[in-house]
Structure 1
Amino acid sequence: MTATFTLLTSGYDLFDERNAGIDGREQPWHIASTVALLRDGDKIVVVDPGMVADRKLILDPLAAEGMTPEQVTDVVFSHHHPDHTLNAALFPNARAHDIWATYDNDLWTDRPADGFQISPSIRLIETPGHTAQDITTVAETDEGTVALTHVWWHPHGPAEDPTSHDPEGLRASRRKILDLSPVLIVPGHGAPFVPSENTPV
């Protein structure tokens, strides 16, 4: 059995359009997470249920797939920035996964993320670079490997992550993902893309 991938909503960021405000503070800016659905057997996994313009952008596509929020079994956070975690409470019965542990109601289970299997066809790998705590969700589908990750913000990179404190770690994580030969990469704030020789590393 293999997993299936469904895009719930494609994210965006207007990071480059921010302007310095009064007293050097930055103006408010719009950002939304790319939110995805993975299914593998009895596991229904939502990845990065973060900021969106309207929660319907997550819930309506989920309903179109015949799912209710209560049926979601697992939620994965690529990292702990609020734009990727804000709407986790939409899924009241889901276990949550991050780089450190799995959380299930009041049960905190420490475990390494690298290689952790959520299901037979869905696993986590550690991919630091955007933050030191980044993970990528890897799904084996009938079409091939799909990587859901924030080591790219969108299909064009950016070549250099403007918020990374570890550019070399980011490049190593990008190479780690590309070495999996994914047929599709789902970035943190953009549409899924097919990697090519022009994919920023």
Structure 2
Amino acid sequence: MTTEYRILTTGYTLSTGPGVAATVSYVTDGERHVIVDPGMVAHRDRILGPLAELGLGPDDITDVVLSHHHPDNTMNVGLFGEARVHDHKAVYRADQWTDRDAEGAELGRGLRLIRTPGHSAEDITLLADTAEGVVAFVGDLWWRPDGPAEDPVAPDHVRLRESRQRVLDAADVIVPGHGPAFPAEQWRGSADL
């Protein structure tokens, strides 16, 4: 496997931190350098500093994946001006807008997008085939390793549960929107999906 990932900054919510910050991840697959959910952080150095430690700058990033369009997950997308930006319905770069459904879209040999609505109608997940198994970058499908079991802002709890189950069927590791990565096994068989 050539696909690797690193969490650049681990996010938090009001109940676990001083405010709200996104978990921002870096994924590499061959020539692809991907940032997932460059959202709210205390300072942009929380994203750019760990990236620099990897020998990369903002212009080295080829792709940005936005799991959904809430500001806490998108606030710093402008740091990566050379990247293609992927969401649920299109790819954006400079002044180009190319429509395409995220479902099944491949960003590299070991990277693909799937639709996982629930927290919002537009949610997508990036699945990465890594040496430790399939890692799912789920945005706010799970905020943290503990859920919440009932997402207080989800417009459709049935779809949320269905999308969570889809991820659990595909993934070994889950990277949530506002917390550290956790093993998918932690939620398999849970009545609290």
Q: TM-score, normalised by structure 2?
A: 0.94
Q: Which residue in 2 is equivalent to 1:166?
A: 156
Residue 31 of structure 1 aligns to a residue whose secondary structure is: coil
Question: 1:18-57 residue pairs with structure 2 within 5 A?
Answer: 30-57=19-46
Letter in structure 2 aligned against 1:9: T
Q: Is 1:10 aligned with 2:5?
A: no
Residue 152 of structure 1, aligned match among 142, 160, 174 = 142
- How many aligned positions are there? 189
Residue 150 of structure 2 aligns to a residue whose secondary structure is: coil
Letter in structure 2 aligned against 1:129: G
Shift of 1:15: 5.6
Identity %: 50
Contact preservation (8 Å) 2:168, 2:187: no
Shift of 1:116: 0.3
Residue 106 of structure 1, aligned match among 95, 99, 110 = 95
Contact preservation (8 Å) 2:81, 2:94: no
2-structure distance, mates of 1:9, 1:197: 22
The answer for unaligned runs of 5 or more in structure 2 is: none
2-structure distance, mates of 1:43, 1:196: 29
Residue 13 of structure 1 aligns to a residue whose secondary structure is: coil
Residue 71 of structure 1, aligned match among 60, 65, 86 = 60
2-structure distance, mates of 1:68, 1:197: 35
Shift of 1:196: 2.3
Q: Which residue in 1 is equivalent to 2:168?
A: 178
Shift of 1:183: 2.1
2-structure distance, mates of 1:197, 1:139: 19
RMSD: 1.5
Cα deviation digits, residues 92-140 of structure 1 (max 9, x gap)? 1101000010001111111111100011111100000000000001100
2-structure distance, mates of 1:183, 1:169: 21
Shift of 1:2: 3.1
Residue 133 of structure 1, aligned match among 122, 127, 137 = 122
Q: TM-score, normalised by structure 1?
A: 0.90
2-structure distance, mates of 1:95, 1:197: 33
**In 2 relative to 1, CA 141–107 (structure 1 residues): closer, same or farther, beyond 3 Å?**
same
Which structure's CA Rg is the greater one? Answer: 1
